[in-house]
């Protein structure tokens, strides 16, 4: 009798929709103290970094950097970041430590901000910019492994989605604060670099609230070489290698967002309109990341990721054919959904198909190759743009995204841990 009553109550509970705040509260139970801290650290770090993103080229030109020198600076910095992600991810796994790499990585990025303004000769600027990127390389694998450790296979999507939401909130707060500051204090670029240090300092202080988990028994630590992550490719699970092939093929055609902004400018949109579209994109990205992460846990990480690739293809096809500001806003809305459905979801998926002791190595290897392929992607897009124009470039990119989606659908089998 009691069992029958309980069964009826369960059916009634399913039929009556729960208030949104009850549902949200239940979903938030997966967000632990460590996830909150890491997410807040990323929030403040991105405020500092993105505060400088719109003014970096302007500032470098003001201290007599040529366009070629700016290109070399950014290329070298990103290459350093890419290769170091693989190395420090492997080192974190070998030593069984996360927190020291997270703290050191965020510290280097924070102190690089004021360094850019203290002195202006080229070698110093190269050092400061490289320090920022090395910091990103040191922390990425260890931080993502900590996020993975705090989740179950059934909650990876929402955990990584929540972190991306907080990170991207910083990505639109930073440029907004920079625009407000420069409105009242035009051309005060050096001051902005010093101001950017303070949210970075808050991020450093927050890392001291993190607690380390013991992962390895006492004993000899395997020696780690700088390019050890290449070896991981040979020993990694087959499904991981298949997934990376699809992800890297897509990355090879996924050029910098600068090309999308150039397309908007080419269509005659004003500077303020272009910046407005970019901020709008980051707002959508931040707002959608956590809900889409929850959806991915329910529908499957693979399904949501493929949906993200299809959204990306729609955006590039639309941008290639669009000419009006309203169309660009619509496409950047979809672009925010694409980013929310792929960025954190890819890492969540990787952490579900690899051994927990290799999480930092697996994610570090992926992000290392991703950085290298991203550099090639911008070069490919630049050449296509020069030879065939913006529309052809956008349509080629959209086609590549569709091919990547088809490959992942048919070649990458979904593991048992990625089921609804």
pLDDT tens digits along 37-94: 999 999 999 999 888 876 776 777 778 877 567 666 766 777 777 778 888 888 888 8
- The rounded distance, in Å, linking the Cα atoms of 20 and 3 is 29
| Closest among 60, 185, 178 to 128, alpha carbons compared | 60
Phi first, then psi, for residue 333 (nearest 5°) are -65, -50
* Average pLDDT, integer, range 275-297: 89
Percent residues over pLDDT 70 in the chain: 86
Give me the pLDDT at residue 416, please. 46
Residues whose CB falls within 8 Å of the CB of residue 101, separated by 6 or more in sequence, listed in order: 88, 91, 92, 138, 139, 141, 142, 143
Which pLDDT band holds residue 219 (cuts at 50, 70, 90)?
A: low
Whether the per-residue pLDDT at 9 is higher than 50: the answer is: no
Torsion of CA 134, 136, 138, 143, to 10 degrees: 180
- The helix/strand/coil state of 38 is helix
The residue with greater pLDDT, 149 or 58, is: 149
Residues whose CB falls within 8 Å of the CB of residue 33, separated by 6 or more in sequence, listed in order: none
- Locate the domains of the chain by residue range: 32-213+226-418
Residues whose CB falls within 8 Å of the CB of residue 132, separated by 6 or more in sequence, listed in order: 49, 77, 108, 109, 112, 113
Lowest mean pLDDT among 202-211, 298-307, 382-391: 382-391
Which pLDDT band holds residue 320 (cuts at 50, 70, 90)?
A: confident
Lowest mean pLDDT among 57-61, 62-66, 217-221, 262-266: 217-221
Whether the per-residue pLDDT at 98 is higher than 80: the answer is: yes
* Average pLDDT, integer, range 329-339: 92
Which pLDDT band holds residue 382 (cuts at 50, 70, 90)?
A: confident
Per-chain mean pLDDT for the chain: 83
**What fold characterizes domain 32-213+226-418?**
Growth Hormone; Chain: A; (1.20.1250)
* Average pLDDT, integer, range 185-190: 84
């Amino acid at each position: 009798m009691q069992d029958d009553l309980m069964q009826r109550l369960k059916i009634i509970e399913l039929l009556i929709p729960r208030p949104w705040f009850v549902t949200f509260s239940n979903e938030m139970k997966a967000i632990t103290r460590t996830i909150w801290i890491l997410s807040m650290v990323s929030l403040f770090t991105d405020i500092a970094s993105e505060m400088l993103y719109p003014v970096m080229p302007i500032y470098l030109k003001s201290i007599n950097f040529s366009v070629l020198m700016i290109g070399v600076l950014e290329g070298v910095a990103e290459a350093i970041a890419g290769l170091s992600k693989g190395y420090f991810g492997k080192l974190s796994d070998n030593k069984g430590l996360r927190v020291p790499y997270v703290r050191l990585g965020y510290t280097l990025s924070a102190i690089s901000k004021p360094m850019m303004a203290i002195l202006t000769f080229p070698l110093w600027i190269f050092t400061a910019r490289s320090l920022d990127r090395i910091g990103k390389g040191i922390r990425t694998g260890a931080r993502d492994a900590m996020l993975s450790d705090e989740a179950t296979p059934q909650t990876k999507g929402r955990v990584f989605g929540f972190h991306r939401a907080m990170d991207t909130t910083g990505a639109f707060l930073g440029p907004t604060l920079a625009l407000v500051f420069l409105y009242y204090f035009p051309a005060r670029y050096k001051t902005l670099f010093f101001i950017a240090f303070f949210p970075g300092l808050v991020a450093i202080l927050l890392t001291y609230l993190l607690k380390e988990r013991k992962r390895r028994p006492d004993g000899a630590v395997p020696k780690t070489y700088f390019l050890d992550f290449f070896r991981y490719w040979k020993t990694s699970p087959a499904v991981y290698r298949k997934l990376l092939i699809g992800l890297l093929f897509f990355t090879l055609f996924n050029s910098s967002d600068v090309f999308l902004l150039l397309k908007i400018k080419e269509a005659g949109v004003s500077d303020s309109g272009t910046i407005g579209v970019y901020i709008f994109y980051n707002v959508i990205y931040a707002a959608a990341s956590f809900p889409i992460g929850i959806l991915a846990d329910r529908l499957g990480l693979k399904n949501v990721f493929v949906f993200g690739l299809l959204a990306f293809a729609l955006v590039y096809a639309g941008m290639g054919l669009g000419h009006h500001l309203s169309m660009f806003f619509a496409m950047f809305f979809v672009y925010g959904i694409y980013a929310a459905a792929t960025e954190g979801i890819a890492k969540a998926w990787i952490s579900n198909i690899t051994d927990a002791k290799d999480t930092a190595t697996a994610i570090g290897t992926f992000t290392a190759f991703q950085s290298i392929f991203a550099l090639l992607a911008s070069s490919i897009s630049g050449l296509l743009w020069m030879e065939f124009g913006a529309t052809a470039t956008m349509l080629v990119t959209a086609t590549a995204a569709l091919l990547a989606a088809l490959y992942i659908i048919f070649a990458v089998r979904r593991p048992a841990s990625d089921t609804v």
